[in-house]
Structure 1
Amino acid sequence: MPPAPAPLPPHPPQWATDINASAPPRPSKLANIPDPPGYSAGKLSTKQQRTQQQQQPATSAALLRKSAETDALKLKKAWEIALAPTKQLPMNAIMMYMSGNSLQIFSIMMVFMLFKGPIQGLININTAFAKFETESTKGQMLGVKLVYVLMQGLLLALGIWKVNAMGLLPTTRSDWLAWETEREPLERAYFAFK
């Protein structure tokens, strides 16, 4: 048995046929009317080809300028990230001062968090600046990373100050008594009865 024929598409409504029939004919292209921006005809005239060749250096200069602006923006954002630990420094200093020097769970957790942040920042330094690094900004990014390391070092120094204030660093002579040798007296005095 042969396959059934495909159904024919429905006819358009009468009003659509009337509009298409009464539409005015399209005018032919006039020579004095320029094409709209972005319109490209199939074949360009020699005058249009010369105009395009003159515009190409201008577009390449615009591309260079745009890439330079993009690099400047990336470098600015990288500096913001590098200086972000500086904004945390006063807040952390006040919190360390307010937590006290006694060994309590709150002060121990504060010190732990103070050490954790900079150490993670130093470990992930390349991933933090990877999206901002390009071939043209590679030399400048070295200075940005150096400032970032310095800022993280300041946070670590604040943590070391706090640990020393809590008495957990062995900085006094009494912390090293196990390695002290006994002094030998130069003279001895004995009590005598008369």
Structure 2
Amino acid sequence: MSAQTSSYPQWVIDLKEPPTTKPKITLADPPGYTASLTRKDRAASSKQSMRKQPTPEEMDTLKMKKAWEVAIAPAKQLPMSAIGMYMTGNTLQIFSIFMVFTLFKTPILAALNIQKTFASFEAPGTANRLIAVKIVYLLTNALSLGLGIWKVNAMGLLPTTRSDWLAWEAERTWSERAVPQEWL
């Protein structure tokens, strides 16, 4: 058999008969690495390092912080909405109409769903402080609504001039005439 195997290249022989021992390469641990703990050690350390439960005052503080974040979120969207309004132009196109529709729909729905929006922040300790947060939320949504009204006016869809109301104006009655009426 050695006569047959000697005609094959060494890599073919190595593929057919893998080496009996693998060379063991040991690398040093990188700086800052700590060896992993055994399962028992991990369970014991996790019990010791369990986080203590926050007090009700801490929870109220966290709830108020999150409520304020929700309240000012519509104001954070205003610059992007304003850029979108500028980019769509003042002509009547489907994109500009859709953007204006969204500017009107979002604040109105936000005002209608204000109780549902802040229901998760309601607690006995936060009930009185949430009134100011809700007012700010409504005001920031009113800014978005104002941006929509500005855009509709820029598009020329708001009746702001006298000529927009000519259909409802009565005909003038003259108290004097320079020429007799028969001549007219």
TM-score, normalization by structure 1:
0.62
Residue in structure 2 matching 1:138, options 127, 133, 158 = 127
- 1:3-61 Cα distance to aligned partner (Å, 9 max, x none): xxxxxxxxxxxxxxxxxxxxxxxxxxxxxxxxxxxxxxxxxxxxxxxxxxxxxxxxxxx
Q: Distance in 1 between matches of 2:170 and 2:115?
A: 49
Q: In the alignment, what sits opposite 1:153?
A: 142
* Offset at residue 183 of structure 1 (A): 2.4
Q: In the alignment, what sits opposite 1:95?
A: 84
Q: Say whether residues 1:188 and 2:151 are aligned partners.
A: no
- 1:119-169 Cα distance to aligned partner (Å, 9 max, x none): 111111111110011011100000100100000011001101111111111
Q: Rg: which structure is higher?
A: 1
Q: Distance in 2 between matches of 1:116 and 1:177?
A: 31
Instruction: Compute the RMSD of aligned alpha carbons.
Output: 1.8
Q: Distance in 1 between matches of 2:72 and 2:65?
A: 11
* Offset at residue 96 of structure 1 (A): 0.6
Q: Which amino acid aligns with 2:78?
A: L
- Secondary structure at the counterpart of residue 83 of structure 1: helix
Q: Which amino acid aligns with 1:180?
A: E
Report the identity percentage. Answer: 60
- Count residues in correspondence: 128
Q: In the alignment, what sits opposite 1:117?
A: 106
Q: In the alignment, what sits opposite 1:81?
A: 70
Residue in structure 1 matching 2:58, options 58, 69, 80 = 69
- 1:58-109 Cα distance to aligned partner (Å, 9 max, x none): xxxx98x711011000000000000001101111111111111111111101
* Offset at residue 189 of structure 1 (A): 5.0
* Offset at residue 187 of structure 1 (A): 3.6
Where do 5+ consecutive residues of structure 1 fail to align? 1-61
Where do 5+ consecutive residues of structure 2 fail to align? 1-51
Moved over 3 A (4+): 184-187
